[in-house]
Structure 1
Amino acid sequence: MRIFIILWLGQLVSSVGSSMTYFALTLWVWQQTESATAIALILVFYQLPQIAISLFSGILVDRISRKRLLIFSDIAAAGCTIAVGILAAFQALQLWHIYLIAAIIGCFGNIQSLTYSTLVPLIVSKQHHARASSLGTIVSYAAGILSPALAGLLYPRVGLLGITAVDMGTFAIAMVTLFLVPIPQTTRRLQPSPDSPQPQNPWQEATFGFRYIAAQPSLLAMVVVMSSFAFLHQMGEVLYQPMILARTGGNAQTLGLVVAASGIGGVIGAIALSIWGGFRHRISGMIVGFIGMGVSELALGLGRGIGIWAIARFTTSLHSPLIFSSYMAVWYAKVPPNFQGRVFAADYLIGIVIEASAGISAGLLADQVFEPALRAEGWLTTTVGTVIGTGAGSGIALLYAINAVGIIMIGLVSSRVKRFQDAEALIPDPEVDEGLM
């Protein structure tokens, strides 16, 4: 775990800087447009290029030094961040610049994320996979605690240029940790299982991950269930910040406190999971996480005021490490390390398509359907409006609540899906594994 902890610390520091930049950009876009769609499109443009690059990035991860890939992708992303700061300093920054830079960062971010996801089984023993995955979730949530407060404090004083300068300082720390630790390569002698498809040409190489998943019904069922959850959850992630801004008249301090509460919940959930180790049956962990997160998001959508929003985001994030760590533990147990780049890339590509679709859908539904329906004389004002409220942000809140109900239903229904439950058999008993090592 020592090597993992060193890398993890570097990424934790770097994530604070990157999240500060993203938070500042969210504020900038809202100030310019006051549009949920405009904010959602930042994420959409970040994700869309990854659809084209994901299959090939999986091949790169399985074939090229993972340390070199991390260094290259980090430097490229840092250059894009510097570009944002320079454009802002000369007052030349425009909305399309942000979308273009987000697309470029997305390409390199895809390689970086995929590479990091394949490091866990290389540098961490099997019985600690869930713990390592839960520590990985701390990175984003810990950044959520500090970044909004720091960005909210610094942005009015130093602008985007100053925020990006801080981001570059944290990036330098991450690069030092990356250079300090050895990262092993995978062995190429390991052969796939007999039922796994054999790559023979470039096209088969690129589609290997999809065929590997399709050859194992339990993994395929997991992808379907997780994709359904991810679509609704991602819509919520896109919507909740514009909802709070709209309902508070653009109050950045309120949003910052709610985002910070979300970060605290994620950190506590990840720390608790890293100590506990999670459910022995990982699928049970996912189901419990689905239902718990759905109930929390429903409270956020129906709630009014900073108190309920902060508590709801705290409990939403509290369940997130349980879902994603349990999910990844299944993949680490089933997929051999030297195939993980291509197989994880296939799963990642599916996730990108789902999340990009969710982002577009969330923005359009919020701005074109639900918000007008709950404004003055809207067609839902006298019915749903009496419960959820009317005016700016109410339509977004209604859409958020509907998504939350959908997540609860996914948790209840997936507990009855046999192929999804069959994935339990793929996970070796942690106690047995520990005794053999």
Structure 2
Amino acid sequence: MSQTVNGFIKNRSFLALWLGQAVSELGGAIGALSNSLLVYELTGSKLAMSSFWLVYFIPSLALQLIIGPFIDRWSRKNIMLFSQLTRAFVFLFPILMIFCGNLEFWNLLLLQAVIGLIQPLYAPAGTAMIPTLVKEKQLIQANAYIDGTLRLMGFIAPPIGGFLAAWLGPEETLAAASLFFFLSAGFLFTLKEKRPEYKEERQSWLEQLSGGIRYFFRQRLLAWLGIFLAFVQFGVGVTMVLNVPYIVDELGGSELDYGYFMAAFPLGYFAGSMAAGKLGCLTSRRLMMLGALAAGGVSYIFLSFASAIWAAILIEAAAGVFIPFFNVHNTSLYQKKVPRRLLGNILSVRLFINRGAMMIGVLIGGRFSEIFGIRPMFFMIGAIICIAGCLGILLPYFKFLNDDSSPAQHSKTDTAV
């Protein structure tokens, strides 16, 4: 394992991407924590929290639907640099409003809308770049290391954000988020991108977009992997609305307790990612991936019964250990099965579906938590995810998830550097 890590470190372009993504995740997690706390302090409303996240998802979905073909034609490095610099500057806006003594809810909504427009550019560009920097046999480990590191940053960020918010103030928290995005851009600037030159005739944007959508849904492995991932993202959307009131109102916690709770899942995820990268697929891929999905659903059910903060933190950490066995292999399969000339487009289709599922989760979380309460909502989303995973394991139809017979046909120019 150490030799593999050393090999990735010596690959300077991959290292630049690795560090750039890690620092970006740190800034994004700190910024999201700060914004969520500010919104709840300004409004005290779960419905306002729902609106806050809808403002993120609606522009994100609108752009995600059309941007895919361009990610495969534009420089992915430049897309990521533009994304990071834009996010760095936009986090300075609410700081200015705070100094002017005039921070309002709409200021945070504006920040959230801009971040929502940026994510559809940054996420698929970064994922699509990985196969051009490492060999195919290294993809599972490369994704595991990057995914695990991002979750490790997510573990570090909430306590840092909670400390800054509780002891120094929101200005310092937002400034830290902005600084990390600037630093991420610096790492990504050193990345040497190798862009494949495709010999086929260039297609129009509409032809590329429709072709990518058709390709996605005609490959049942890709389509069902996307659908199962959508169940996970649905749960994430609901918890975006529920997490703050769950800790503050249901369990009587503080901002620091919220930080610990938000750090628990990334800590478990880091451990799970390292295990997923090292172990690979020791048993049935179908059983491993969908078993992890079902275990994630069970964790939500346990949260609905938790009565102490320490119990909720332990449950979140345990859930984090299981989910990488689904996510890491999910992403690696896309990178292996999809031709690289289509990868950005296909990943954008997948992200569009996931963002849509998250937005539905936000809508349901904001609306129905006011009616039924927070704990019943945790139980409901847990049951939905658990049932989806169990059906995938038990129904014979899903045996194709173990199929490795149709790898992506790569262009000769698509080799790793």
On the 8 A contact 2:27/2:181 being kept in 1, the answer is yes
Match of 1:361 among 350, 356, 364: 364
Aligned partners of 1:147, 1:206: CA distance in 2, in Å?
36
Does 2:98 correspond to 1:120?
A: no
Describe the SS at the equivalent of 2:368. helix
1:259 alignment partner, one of 225, 239, 262: 262
Report the counterpart of residue 183 of structure 1 in structure 2. Answer: 193
> 2:51 aligns to what?
41
Which residue is 1:304 aligned to? Answer: 307
In structure 1, C-alpha distance between the alignment counterparts of 2:149 and 2:59, rounded to whole Å: 24
2:391 — aligned with what? 413
Q: Deviations over 1:56-103 (max 9, x none)?
A: 321121111111111111111112111122112222221122112211
Report the equivalent of 2:97: 87
What SS does structure 1 have at the residue aligned with 2:72? helix
> Are the counterparts in 2 of residues 209 and 345 from structure 1 also a CA contact under 8 Å?
no
| 1:351 Cα deviation after fit | 1.1
Deviation at 1:397, TM superposition (A): 1.2
Q: Distance in 1 between matches of 2:281 and 2:109?
A: 38
The answer to whether the 8 Å contact 2:84/2:184 transfers is no
**Equivalence for 2:376:** 398
Kept in 1, the 8 Å contact 2:57–2:359? The answer is yes
User: Aligned ranges for residues 223-262 of structure 1 at < 5 Å?
Assistant: 223-249=226-252, 251-262=254-265
Structure 2 runs not aligned, ≥5 long: 1-7, 408-415
TM-score, normalised to structure 1, is 0.85
Indicate the residue corresponding to 1:381 in structure 2: none
* 1:215 aligns with one of 218, 242, 245: 218
Deviations 1:306-362 (A, max 9, x none): 121011000111122111111112211210111011111111111111111111111
Where does 1:258-297 land on structure 2 (aligned, <5 Å)? 258-279=261-282, 281-297=284-300
**Residue 250 of structure 1, CA deviation:** 5.3
Q: Is the contact between residue 219 and residue 423 of structure 1 (CA under 8 Å) also seen in structure 2?
A: no
2:196 aligns to what SS in structure 1? coil
Question: Structure 1: where are the runs of 5+ without partners?
Answer: 192-198, 371-394, 430-436
Contact 1:7 1:181 in 2 (8 A): yes
State the SS of the aligned residue for 1:118. Answer: helix
The one-letter code matched in structure 2 to 1:158 is: L
Residues 226 and 190 of structure 1: CA distance in aligned 2, closer, same or farther (over 3 Å):
farther
SS state at 2:199 partner: coil
Q: How does 1:18-97 map to 2 (within 5 A)?
A: 18-97=28-107
Decide whether aligned partners of structure 1 residues 190 and 237 sit closer, same or farther in structure 2, where only a CA change above 3 A counts: farther
CA distance in 1, matches of 2:173, 2:257: 20
Alignment size in residue pairs: 398
Q: How does 1:365-376 map to 2 (within 5 A)?
A: 365-367=368-370, 369-370=371-372
Which residue in the other structure is 2:413 paired with?
none
Distance 1:118 1:282, change over 3 A: farther
Q: The residue matched to 2:101 in structure 1 has which SS?
A: coil
For residue 182 of structure 1, give the secondary structure of its aligned residue in structure 2: coil
- Taking structure 1 as reference, are residues 231 and 345 closer, same or farther at Cα in structure 2, changes over 3 Å only? same
Match of 2:120 in 1: 110
The alpha carbon displacement at 1:407 in A equals 1.4
Residue 119 of structure 1: SS of its match in structure 2? helix
Give, as a single letter, the amino acid of the residue that structure 2 aligns with 1:398. Answer: P
Read off the aligned partner of 2:394 and give its amino acid letter: R
Whether 1:135 and 2:145 are equivalent positions in the alignment is yes
Matched letter for residue 425 of structure 1: D
Structure 1 residues 406 and 257: alpha-carbon distance in aligned structure 2, compared to 1, 3 A threshold: same
Which structure's CA Rg is the greater one?
A: 1
CA deviation after TM superposition for structure 1 residue 160, in Å: 2.4
Deviation at 1:253, TM superposition (A): 2.0
Aligned ranges 1:161-200 → 2 under 5 Å:
161-189=171-199
Give the partner amino acid of 1:306: I
**Residue identity opposite 1:347 in structure 2:** R
The letter of the residue matching 2:158 is P
Partners of 2:344 and 2:81 lie apart in 1 by 17
Q: Deviations over 1:29-58 (max 9, x none)?
A: 111222222223332211211221113321
8 A contact 1:218–1:419 mirrored in 2 = no
- Residue 91 of structure 1: SS of its match in structure 2? coil
* Amino acid in structure 2 at the alignment position of 1:4: F
Residue 279 to residue 346, structure 1, CA distance change in 2 (3 Å) = farther
Matched residue, 2:338: 335
SS in 2 for 1:102: helix
**Aligned residue number for residue 425 of structure 1:** 403
Contact 1:190 1:338 survives alignment (8 Å) = no
Q: Match for 2:251: what amino acid?
A: T
Give 2:340's aligned amino acid: P
Contact 2:77 2:191 in 1 (8 A): no
Normalised TM-score (structure 2): 0.89
The residue identity in structure 2 corresponding to 1:258 is F
Question: Per the alignment, do residues 226 and 151 of structure 1 end up closer, same or farther by CA in structure 2, a change over 3 Å counting?
Answer: closer
> In the alignment, residue 353 of structure 1 is paired with which amino acid?
G
Write the distance in 1 (CA, Å) between the matches of 2:239 and 2:115. 23
Equivalent position of 1:325 in the other structure: 328
Structure 1 residues 417 and 136: CA distance shift in structure 2, 3 A: farther
> How does 1:143-158 map onto structure 2 within 5 Å?
143-158=153-168
